[in-house]
Amino acid sequence: MRSTSTRGERDEIIVDVVQALAEADRLELEEVEYTLYEYINPAVLTELADHDGGNWQFTFEIADHDVTITSDGRLFVDGVLCRTDLALCRSTTQPAHG
């Protein structure tokens, strides 16, 4: 199997999470007074975006919010669906060559 996502696409998940949190707080991005690094290593999110197997769900707490990301590309903040199109790895099966 081969990943079809690029590093830039994987990093988009971090931006999507931060934007969703700002929207939940009714703030512009530059008004958010905390950083993702204070609560979680953002590399975990990019690793999740690159994970191409099975169904999974990842939930973490940040600044009084519960954030959940699912393997099908959905993002929830405090149980409210914020995104349905996260840039997650999509694998393609390569034919075996004999």
Domain positions in the chain are 2-87
Instruction: Give CA–CA dist 66/45, Å, rounded.
Output: 15
Instruction: Report the amino acid identity of residue 36.
Output: L
Which tens digits make up the pLDDT trace of 46-90? Answer: 888 777 777 889 999 999 999 999 988 899 999 999 998 887 764
Residue 96 has pLDDT above 50, yes or no: no
Spatial contact of 4 and 94, defined as CB atoms under 8 Å apart: no
In the chain, the percentage of residues whose pLDDT exceeds 70 is 80
pTM for this entry: 0.76
Q: Which residues contact 42 (CB under 8 A, 6 or more apart)?
A: 14, 36
